[in-house]
Amino acid sequence: MTVLGPPALLLQNEILQMILDAGPVSKAVLIVLLLFSLLSWTIIFSKLGNFRQAQGSNHRFLSAFRRTDKLAEMNTFAAQFRPAPLALVFEFGYREVERQVNSQGRLHNIAMLQRAMQLGSSEQLTKLERNLSWLATTASATPFIGLFGTVWGIIDSFRGLALEGGASLRAVAPGIADALIATAFGLVAAIPAVIFYNYFLHRIKEFGARLDDFGSEFVNLAERSFGE
């Protein structure tokens, strides 16, 4: 456990005091940035858990799917692997297979089955992408919000100069401090959002490729089982 020494504690106290002494506009900017950051981290941790769960359940479902040669047998326990995206895509495909087999006794329209699988994949990818737009908004908006706080701090500094009637440190220091704090808060909110937004996009592409590969496997098994 790291113990903060007096210099670190002094720096923290100074930063806290500068935040408390900031003007109402600067405080409002900091509060907005803090809300952006808190919501972004909530989404990040939620997404990390969802992706980990989806990956694990996908692996278990795919192992079971490759051990069976009968779609009907797999369908009896596919629900056990929810919320695996592959299991949900399987259900889309199996419903289409059932519809075709029940109507004509065989699988007669592969293109329609492929479209059903693509529809299921698209739905699962949409679920995985949920709330990512907030991370993108945070990454793009918070630096500008922090920049607004910076500009406002500079304006306050010049106002202090005008009131003091001279260029003293006492006149400019509060505004500059407000400006620097706003800039720092903006970067603190934006940088994690950018990093995890790109990371999640990469993971979603991987899931998309996995869903496409599974669709091909499903169609092949369906053709062997119910084709002409």
Q: What does each of the 228 residues of the chain score in pLDDT, given as a tens digit?
A: 444 555 555 555 666 666 666 667 778 888 899 999 999 999 999 999 999 999 999 999 999 888 887 788 888 888 788 778 999 999 999 898 888 888 877 788 888 989 999 999 999 999 999 999 999 999 999 999 998 888 887 777 777 666 665 555 565 666 676 677 888 889 999 999 999 999 999 999 999 999 999 999 888 888 887 765
Residue 139 resides in a domain: yes
Residue 3 resides in a domain: no
What is the domain extent for residue 50?
Answer: 23-226
Residue 121 resides in a domain: yes
Residue 58 resides in a domain: yes
Cβ-contact 191, 33 below 8 angstroms:
no
- pTM of the shown model: 0.80
Look up residue 35 and give its DSSP letter: H
The backbone region for 4, taken as left when phi is positive above 0, alpha when psi lies in -120 to 50, beta otherwise, is beta
Residue 137 resides in a domain: yes
Residue 8 resides in a domain: no
Residue 179 resides in a domain: yes
Residue 16 resides in a domain: no
When divided into structural domains, the chain yields a total of 1
Helix (H) or strand (E) holding 78: none
